[in-house]
Chain A
Amino acid sequence: VRKKPLKLDQLDYSVLQQCMHCGLCLPTCPTYDATKVERNSPRGRISLMRAIADGEMEVTKIFGEEMYYCLGCLACATACPAGVNYAELFEVARTDIENSGILANRKRNLIRWLTVKFIFVRPRILRLVGRMLYFYQAFGFQNLLRATKFTALLPRRFRELEAFTPLVRRHFSDALIKEIESPAQCRFRVGLLTGCVQDLIYSELNRDTADVLLAHDCEVFTPRLQNCCGSLHAHNGELELAREMARRNITALERSAGSLDELDAIISNAGGCGSHLKNYAHLLQDDPVFARRAVLWSAKLKDVHEWLTTIGIRCPESVPQTERVTYHESCHLCHGQKVTRPPRELLRAIPGLELVEMAESNWCCGSAGIYNLTQPEMSQQLLNRKLGHIYKTGATTVASANPGCSLQLEAGLRQAGSSIKVVHPVSLLASAFRRPTKQQLNISPQELSSESMFDVQGKHPNGVNFDIWLI
Chain B
Amino acid sequence: MNELISLLGAGQVLTRQEDLIPYSFDATAALRQQPGCVVFPRTVEEVAGVLSVARAKHMPVVTRGSGTGLSGGSLPSLNCIVLCLVKMDRVLKLDDKNLTMLVEPGVITQKIAELADGAGLLYPPDPGSMKISTIGGNIAENSGGLRGLKYGVTRDYVMGLEVVMADSRVVWLGSQCVKDVAGYSMKDVFIGSEGTLGIITKALLKLVPKPQMKKTLLATFKRMDAAAATVSAIIADKIIPCTLEFLDKVTIRCVEEYTHIGLPLDAEALLLMETDGHPAAVDDEVRRMEQIARQNGADSVLVAQSAEESARLAIARRSAFSALARASPTTILEDATVPRSELAKMIQFIQEVGARHQLRIATFGHMGDGNLHPTFLTDERDAAEMERVEQAMQEVFDYAIKLGGTITGEHGVGIAKKKFLPRALGDHSLDLMRQLKRTLDPEGLLNPGKIFDL
Contact = CB atoms under 8 A, between A and B. Distances in A.
Contact of B331 (A13, A38, A82): A82
Given A41-B22, A83-B325, A83-B326, A57 B14 contact: no
A17 B40 CA distance: 29
A45 B329 CA distance: 18
B25 A39 contact: no
Interface in A1-33: 13-14, 17-18, 20-24, 26-27
A23 B27 contact: yes
Given A36-B40, A36-B86, A82-B326, A23 B68 contact: yes
A34 to B, nearest CB: 12
Contacts of A57: 17-18, 21
Contacts of A21: 25-27, 67
Contacts of B40: 36
Given A23-B132, A26-B66, A26-B132, A82 B325 contact: yes
Contact of A24 (B17, B22, B129): B129
B24 A18 contact: no
Nearest to A52: B21
Contacts of B330: 17, 20
Interface string B1-37: 0000000000000101111011111110100000000
Instruction: Give the interface centre of B22, B40, B86, B330 by most chain A CB atoms within 10 Å.
Output: B22
B321 interface: yes
Interface string A39-50: 101011101100
Given A20-B29, A36-B87, 13 more contacts: A17-B379, A21-B25, A22-B129, A23-B66, A26-B66, A36-B40, A39-B14, A39-B19, A45-B22, A47-B21, A60-B17, A62-B18, A82-B322
Contacts of B331: 20, 82
A15 to B, nearest CB: 10
Contact of A48 (B18, B29, B329): B18
Question: Interface residues of A toward B: which range?
Answer: 20 to 34
Interface string A53-68: 0001100101100100
Given A26-B66, A48-B18, A63-B18, A20 B108 contact: no
B22 A47 contact: yes
Contacts of A27: 108, 110, 131-132
A202 B269 CA distance: 55
A258 interface: no
A44 B17 CA distance: 12
Contact of A22 (B17, B27, B87, B380): B27
Given A17-B329, A36-B86, A81-B325, A24 B131 contact: yes
A354 B264 CA distance: 41
A161 interface: no
Interface string A62-77: 1100100000000000
A37 B14 contact: yes
Please name the 9 residue pairs, one residue from A and one from B, whose CB atoms are nearest each other, closest first: A44-B22, A38-B22, A82-B325, A81-B322, A62-B18, A23-B68, A22-B27, A17-B329, A27-B132
Given A20-B325, A81-B325, A48 B132 contact: no
Interface in B164-209: none
A20 B27 contact: yes
A57 B19 CA distance: 12
B23 A38 contact: yes
A439 to B, nearest CB: 38
A70 to B, nearest CB: 13
A154 interface: no
Interface of A: 13-14, 17-18, 20-24, 26-27, 36-39, 41, 43-45, 47-48, 51, 56-57, 60, 62-63, 66, 81-83
Contacts of B66: 23, 26
B17 A43 contact: no
6 contacts: A23-B66, A39-B18, A44-B22, A47-B21, A47-B25, A51-B21
Given A21-B26, A38-B67, A48 B326 contact: no
A187 to B, nearest CB: 28
A60 B379 CA distance: 29
B129 A23 contact: yes
Contacts of A14: 329
Instruction: Give the interface centre of A13, A24, A37, A38 by most chain B CB atoms within 10 Å.
Output: A38
A44 B86 CA distance: 15
A36 B107 CA distance: 12
A62 B15 CA distance: 13
A62 B23 CA distance: 16
A47 B68 contact: no
A44 B68 CA distance: 13
Instruction: Give the interface centre of A13, A47, A62, A81 by most chain B CB atoms within 10 Å.
Output: A81
A70 B444 CA distance: 39
Contact of A60 (B18, B67, B329, B380): B18
B22 A48 contact: yes
B27 A39 contact: no
A112 to B, nearest CB: 23
Contacts of B16: 62
Contacts of A56: 21
Interface string B119-147: 00000000001011100000000000000
A60 B21 CA distance: 13
B27 A37 contact: no
A157 to B, nearest CB: 24
B81 to A, nearest CB: 15
A47 B27 contact: no
A376 to B, nearest CB: 20
Nearest to A38: B22
A18 B329 contact: yes
A39 to B, nearest CB: 5
A102 to B, nearest CB: 12
Instruction: Give the interface centre of B17, B24, B29, B330 by most chain A CB atoms within 10 Å.
Output: B17
A365 B425 CA distance: 53
Contacts of A26: 66, 132
Contact of B67 (A23, A45, A62): A23
Contacts of B326: 18, 81-83
A318 B332 CA distance: 58
Interface string B369-399: 0000000000111000000000000000000
B14 A48 contact: no
B140 to A, nearest CB: 16
Contacts of A18: 326, 329
A209 B329 CA distance: 42
Nearest to A43: B22
